[in-house]
Structure 1
């Protein structure tokens, strides 16, 4: 149990708070209610889009900040912080701080490697909703939400491992920072989940000095490594399909025995209650 500390939970969604196969969070519902009762913030920190996260937050009963597209931007409810940080822009009902360039930058870059790797990949902007349904297992409606990218671009790899390594190197040489998630390669700017998490923690520590703030991060994939390594309490969630993410940290690493949302609840129970 964390004593005399004010925790903030930063969580990956797919494969962590959401089941890898059916995207259900039912195994975490009791824990979400418990955290809400304890007034502990749960901040989604995900590769998903704003449109996707807004819908999920409503279903989960979350009302705080959220981080989208692998750390590309953070959205804050307008009343979340007493003082508005510099650099915020108003987007609908939220204040947004962007850490990344707009999506158009990456769509142009993918055009430049299309000939070299033709037929070996496809990406969301060039896919139909039906193709995204097939690639993700999402419903038609949820796939439409997933396609509303603002900053990065998910890529479905169709070639072999050797070809993929060449592809990743080509993107890197062009200035991209491709990250492999549970299902897709994510083409994005040089920002990550850790940077966005650290930004929010710095705001909280600056504006609410009476609390001893600590970060708990939970994730199951390679795109969670930076976030996990930077957290005060890193938690690896076991996956039915992927190996556990490996990273270096001087802090004790907590690893679930259960997968997905059941493992999520298991670890938070041992840490907080």
Structure 2
């Protein structure tokens, strides 16, 4: 039980990966994280999804959980703001009627062009070329969620069809100002200046204009989370579905005993108590 005699001067902000962290790797359920989610909502702590998922996928998840904080999509491709957010930065564009986007990454069509260039040299298959059957087998999503995952704007995932030296592919990408990030299920073609850490740092700057004493927690389980975790005060490495951990060379790193949303719950409840009651 967390004591609610807390330091109100501290503004805790939680940045979290989704698949394999807040969401179970296989079922995509967040049920085992509900205690932490409810605590976050009770204390009005921003919960900022920082994910490789699309804007369409994240907005649906936000509705399911009942939050409207900013969120980071497609491995840092853009930061999305609800119009009610009190400090929307300059240089945003309006998308649909409901959101503003601060764009960091490249357009997907440009990344697909790079992917086609790579296909002439390496045995890979782009996300946009995968059949629904292949996507279901890889991702395990129901049809309605699968359709949302296709609505990409700032990245192009791909799979390897044979062993490839990724560093060789990275070199070929450099001429296009593109790089490769490794996620839990896919590799991702993204813009050279795009990663979760860049987007997290931008949002930190925004929150620091709104609050004097921000304290950040970040949670992730994959290599593409490392840039995010390096930007936060309290990094959390969540145990992966295969019982392994990514290696994070940073002091103060919390390694969860439990996997996925149960690990999220374990770390968030502990760290909020530590930050606000010490």
Which of 49, 52, 56 is 2:54 aligned to?
49
Q: Secondary structure at the match of 1:188?
A: strand
Q: CA deviation at 1:173?
A: 5.3
Cα shift readout 1:117-155 (whole Å, capped 9, x = no counterpart)? 2xx221111122232112211112211111110011011
Q: Is the 2:48–2:69 contact (alpha carbons within 8 Å) kept by the matching residues of 1?
A: yes
Q: CA deviation at 1:164?
A: 4.7
Determine whether 1:91 maps to 2:92. Answer: no
Structure-2-length-normalised TM-score? 0.90
Counterpart CA distance in 1 for 2:41 and 2:165 is: 46
Structure-1-length-normalised TM-score? 0.92
Q: Is the 2:216–2:233 contact (alpha carbons within 8 Å) kept by the matching residues of 1?
A: yes
Counterpart CA distance in 2 for 1:49 and 1:203 is: 22
Partner of 2:189: 187
Q: Is the 2:81–2:88 contact (alpha carbons within 8 Å) kept by the matching residues of 1?
A: no
1:1-273 aligned at under 5 Å gives the runs: 3=7, 4-81=9-86, 83-92=87-96, 93-117=98-122, 120-160=123-163, 162-172=164-174, 174-189=176-191, 190-206=193-209, 208-209=210-211, 211-241=212-242, 243-249=244-250, 251-273=251-273
Q: Is the 1:172–1:178 contact (alpha carbons within 8 Å) kept by the matching residues of 2?
A: no
Counterpart CA distance in 1 for 2:165 and 2:197 is: 29
Counterpart CA distance in 2 for 1:215 and 1:271 is: 10
Q: Gaps spanning 5+ residues in structure 1: where?
A: none
Aligned residues: 266
Cα shift readout 1:56-113 (whole Å, capped 9, x = no counterpart)? 11112221111100001001111212x4321011112111100012111111111112
Judged with a 3 Å threshold, the aligned counterparts in structure 2 of structure 1 residues 63 and 84 are, in CA distance, closer, same or farther, namely closer
Counterpart CA distance in 1 for 2:91 and 2:176 is: 28
Counterpart CA distance in 2 for 1:84 and 1:33 is: 26
Q: CA deviation at 1:172?
A: 4.1
Counterpart CA distance in 1 for 2:80 and 2:264 is: 23
Q: Gaps spanning 5+ residues in structure 2: where?
A: 274-278
Greater shift, 179-188 or 137-146, is seen at: 137-146
Judged with a 3 Å threshold, the aligned counterparts in structure 2 of structure 1 residues 88 and 242 are, in CA distance, closer, same or farther, namely farther
Q: Is the 1:258–1:266 contact (alpha carbons within 8 Å) kept by the matching residues of 2?
A: yes
Partner of 2:276: none
Counterpart CA distance in 2 for 1:222 and 1:163 is: 16
Counterpart CA distance in 1 for 2:91 and 2:175 is: 30
Counterpart CA distance in 2 for 1:165 and 1:36 is: 42
Q: CA RMSD in A?
A: 1.8
Q: Secondary structure at the match of 1:177?
A: strand
